[in-house]
Structure 1
Amino acid sequence: MVAYDYIIVGGGSAGSVLANRLSARSANKVLVCEAGQDTPPGQEPPEIRDSYSGTAYFDPRFHWTELKVHTQVVSHNNPDEDRPPLRKYEQARVLGGGSSINGQMANRGAPTDYQEWVDRGAEGWSWNEVLPYFKKVERDLDFDGPYHGKDGRIPVRRIPVEHWTGFAKAIAEACKGTGMAFLPDQNGEFVDGYFPVTHSNAAEQRVSAAMGYLDTETRKRPNLIISTNTQVTSLLFDGTRCIGVAALVDGKTTEFHAREVILSSGAIHSPAHLLRAGIGPVGHLKDMGIPVVAALPGVGQRLMDHPSISLSSFIRRRARVNEHTRRHIQLGIRYSSGLPDVPRGDMFVAVVNKSAWHAVGEQIASLLTFVNRTYSETGQVKLNSRDWRVEPTVEFNLLSDRRDLDRLMTGFRRMAALQMTPMVKAVTDNPFPAAYTDRVRKIGVVSAKNKLLTAIIARFLDGPATLRRYMIDNFVVEGFTFDQVMTDDDALEAFVRKAAIGVWHASCTCRMGRPDDPMSVVDTQGRVKGVHGLRVVDASVFPIVPCANTNFPTLMTAEKISDAIIAAG
């Protein structure tokens, strides 16, 4: 058995940062165990390197294909109530993790988010204390100054306004007409307005965490081993000390031992690893027949994501994605709902110029509205089985807080008002409330069959207006029409309750907090309470999900805890 100083379970965003930083000290022997495939420098799959993320995101080669979740509220008090449907939830299974398939949105969250982290027990994680690590992550290609990094491993940039699609320009003009401020830099001060979105991208190509942190020079380090196609099946313990992992490497069972194991498997699979090891709520562990190693009731609890809904429309040919960029999200909107005691900037809209990789996707634009500061935090991750092959039960319980439902309803109508402005109506047609249904998901899978099918449908959609309306009403819209939800509050609420999904920002299931907080799982350096030699470093340690896409907060978290690990020796 080979002994390491650190074993990192998961080569995603956090794992890539940790691997780079910990192996920079030559005395540290570091092993990365990644279940998915490698993305070697210069040999990354073209779908991953693509600036447009819709192909990688829907390619099953890069997913945990059996993972399904409940997004709507699950009632445990009324077992006779119909359970909401299970939905596929795309989680990356590839080196670089989510950063290899996500939308490349590079934002940070609000200063008030990190103050709340401190208030909830994450001492040392205030805005002024995390900002240096956000700056350490990035190499901003457009801006300098106190909010920006210039030497980081992840480049960030914005699409110039002159290169935006006609649809994005029309939405921006409509925003200007309502009195919104134009913000050249969304990662400057956290204020309301519309802005070119910041994304982790350079020269029209994705730069994932693996590309940025596990580059050729880093991989040459003799003290760093990156083992892909390596599925960790269990954590190994000697009493309450984690001493290593058991894993399948290319289908062969082996064990690796280490001074310390770091879970960086994401907010669904990191708590599942802990639970299978006997770390978690005592009642659940006993129900599963798992001996208790550490009683931590917070493991898997208070799962969070950003609830979202979408208003979509047909885009006229002249306003679609153009030759300047394959980036499909060029414009973002941040606004305040004005609800009492809710921080400003609590709502976000991604202006999506292309809804999918295929021909029909190029014809459909969306205003994707999500609750930036969500209060729904009753989700959970539980085991279905002690068997590592069986995906856990995942219940997001989105909209469990009425404030989230109310803000999505008003947000939908706010976006509808933009949709109905003359400048937006001039470049769109047939607006409709969109739902990410199984039918949409199935046609989104990258395949020759779907490419042919959508090409045929697209020709009809580009035909006469009456034919287009017929096609959209009968083959695209599911359940609710635009007129229904705009004139009937009950219909709008029913649509939001049924159609709301997360935006793949799973977090908070192994929260940082004070030692005396019974629901905290790790301390402010990611160390798991009640055991030794084990940390969690990924989005699961967030005390709350910040007002941002979670990739950059995850990279920041890994940078900050890496520093703490190195400082401790």
Structure 2
Amino acid sequence: MNALPETVDVLIVGGGSAGCVMAHRLSADPRRRVLLVEAGIDTPPGRVPAEILDSYPMPLFHGDTYIWPGLDAAVTRDSRGRMRRRAYEQGRVMGGSSSINVQAANRGLPRDYEAWAALGAEGWAWDDVLPYFRRLETDLDCGGPLHGHDGPLPIRRILEPAWPPFAHAVARAFDATGLPRRVDQNGEFEDGIFPPAFSNRDDARVSAAAAYLDVGTRARPNLTIAAGLEVRSLVMDGRRATGAVLRRGDGSEQQVSAASVVLCAGALQSPVLLLRAGIGPGDALSACGIPVRLARSGVGENLRDHPALTMAQVLPRSLRLPETFRRASLLALRYTSGHPGGGASDMYLTASARAGWHALGGRLALYFLWVNQPHSVGRLRLDPANPSGPPDIDLGLLSDRRDLERLASGIRLLSDLVVSPTLNPRSDDLFPANYSPLIRRLSAVSPRNRRLTGLLAPVFDAPAMLRAPLLRAVLGGHAWATVLQDDGALDDFVRDNVFGVWHASGTCRMGRADDPDTVVDPGGRVIGTENLSVADASVMPRLPSANTNVPTLMIAEKIAERMMVEMG
């Protein structure tokens, strides 16, 4: 780590996707001194851990090497009325969640950004944001006016000529929807069957850190990249941001002064820093003993994630991926539910040929189903008993019943599609992929788990009559087909198993300055403050119909350009 400066022009808080963009763009002017601070470890070129580079990402979610420790969230109330909580895996490493996610690189749909503009984010309609989507990418497969060809982030797909047998089988199964097969989910905006776009080159992940903090960028003498430093608090002079207090791993602290502070810590951390600085809902701040510096009722509100469910299916030997084929998520289905309150393309389904890194997961397909256009809303608060600790997060999934109904119907559709002669015709071989404590323990990469799963895996090669009792035990003694036929049982299943897909957003919502529920204006400036901006997924007025990483990069590109123009 370079020596930490005492004074800079721009302090960027958070080395995730948005922070990497900001550091790259703002430090391009050698007159501008920029400091990028990240709480996790750095991953400089040539020293990126092999598990981050891997095209198969799931082992990264276990342990706290690359994620925020102790972070969890209330999900929804289960079928017994009890609030369910679940660990929330947010990246804590250079590149943030782009270093641990599934590398999905979809933009969403034009209607998503038209909705942002209609909600008060002037200048964020589709035609306004498209140039920044093009700026950030080098699309390796698709051309034309919708795509970029010289941006930092390579985007590719595994196209049909390179599909393994599993992908062909899924495509034939999905053909039963009557929807067309398409190539470009970022340029063809109708429903269809797609090979998912992902941020990857030569079968290696390209995180935001790899894309934007390259050798040339890191060599700039006016840019300091500081890893292993947590921002404990913002320094404010009235309503003017003047810097931050940073804490090292050994507990020592240093204050850095800055002419401008940009929060890029994500939808679960940026609002926390505002709240600790006294910017937020007055009653919530008072409950934590924090003096109200600026009452903004929207800070921590409007928390949104895509409600999701997962299913696993026993795969015949002919459809299993060899371990050397690392990219396992191979097909996606974007479709319209037709339910009241659900617009076009309101649902999304992906198919992966591997449910885990080990021998057991290699015998199972994994299907992710989520509500692409959810109505449910949650919120984030500081814990009054420990305001300096992890925030109190309530995702609020299924707070709007329309999301529950669409997930229930989606699970029925999923079951109809994949219980198929092209994949596996046995309904008993499809079962919920419950993330139980046992499964979580087995998912940690270790020699013991490799041996143990190797012993368990042959159960899935046994005759169907022998493995059926094991799968029924996973379901609590109920055959999955029975659950599907009972509306009440299926609703209970959705409540008991729904989770968020790590797409937290909206907690510092962007909109008009005269709207009391917004936090930042369309330029990313925190309304009512000076020299303080937010540029990450927290500013999204609504969730896009997509994984959030590429939209977050776009947001940072656009706000960085505004800052460069204003700074001169």
TM-score bracket relative to the smaller structure: over 0.9
Please list, as runs of the form range in 1=range in 2, the aligned pairs for 1:104-143 lying within 5 A after superposition: 104-143=103-142
- Which amino acid is 1:296 matched to? R
- Which amino acid is 2:485 matched to? T
Q: Deviations over 1:113-170 (max 9, x none)?
A: 1111011110000011111111111100111101111011010111122333333221
| Dislocated runs of 4+, deviation >6 Å | none
Aligned sequence identity (%): 46
Distance 2:341 2:436 in 1: 34
* CA deviation after TM superposition for structure 1 residue 59, in Å: 4.3
Please name the residue that 2:162 is paired with: 163
Matched, 1:38 2:42: yes
- SS of the residue aligned with 1:61? coil
Distance 1:74 1:176, change over 3 A: closer
Question: 1:51 touches 1:204 (CA, 8 Å); kept in 2?
Answer: yes
Alignment gaps of 5+ in structure 1: 76-80
Structure 1 length-normalised TM = 0.95
Please name the residue that 1:545 is paired with: 543
Q: Deviations over 1:271-293 (max 9, x none)?
A: 11111111100001001100111
Question: 1:109 touches 1:548 (CA, 8 Å); kept in 2?
Answer: yes
Question: 2:182 touches 2:188 (CA, 8 Å); kept in 1?
Answer: no
* CA deviation after TM superposition for structure 1 residue 402, in Å: 1.3
* CA deviation after TM superposition for structure 1 residue 344, in Å: 1.1
Distance 2:72 2:447 in 1: 25
Distance 1:479 1:442, change over 3 A: farther
Matched, 1:508 2:506: yes
* CA deviation after TM superposition for structure 1 residue 315, in Å: 1.1
Distance 1:126 1:479 in 2: 50
Match of 2:64 among 60, 67, 80: 60
- Which amino acid is 1:39 matched to? T
Question: 1:32 touches 1:226 (CA, 8 Å); kept in 2?
Answer: yes
Please name the residue that 2:257 is paired with: 257
Please name the residue that 2:432 is paired with: 433
Distance 2:101 2:318 in 1: 27
- SS of the residue aligned with 1:248? strand
Distance 1:480 1:98, change over 3 A: farther
Distance 1:30 1:478, change over 3 A: farther
Please list, as runs of the form range in 1=range in 2, the aligned pairs for 1:410-559 lying within 5 A after superposition: 410-425=409-424, 430-474=429-473, 476-478=474-476, 481-559=479-557
- Which amino acid is 2:55 matched to? S
Please name the residue that 1:78 is paired with: none
Please name the residue that 1:335 is paired with: 335
Question: 1:276 touches 1:386 (CA, 8 Å); kept in 2?
Answer: no
Structure 2 length-normalised TM = 0.95
- SS of the residue aligned with 1:268? coil
Distance 1:429 1:168, change over 3 A: farther
Question: 1:298 touches 1:521 (CA, 8 Å); kept in 2?
Answer: yes
- Which amino acid is 1:440 matched to? I
Question: 2:419 touches 2:426 (CA, 8 Å); kept in 1?
Answer: no
Q: Deviations over 1:505-550 (max 9, x none)?
A: 0000000011111110001111111211111111000000100000
Distance 1:536 1:386 in 2: 27
Distance 1:554 1:479 in 2: 43
In terms of mean alpha carbon deviation, does 435-444 or 61-70 score higher? 435-444
Distance 1:479 1:568, change over 3 A: farther
- SS of the residue aligned with 2:499? coil
Question: 1:275 touches 1:383 (CA, 8 Å); kept in 2?
Answer: yes
Please name the residue that 1:18 is paired with: 22
Aligned-CA RMSD value: 1.9
Alignment gaps of 5+ in structure 2: none
Matched, 1:395 2:405: no
Question: 2:135 touches 2:150 (CA, 8 Å); kept in 1?
Answer: yes
* CA deviation after TM superposition for structure 1 residue 42, in Å: 1.1
Please name the residue that 1:359 is paired with: 359
* CA deviation after TM superposition for structure 1 residue 427, in Å: 9.4
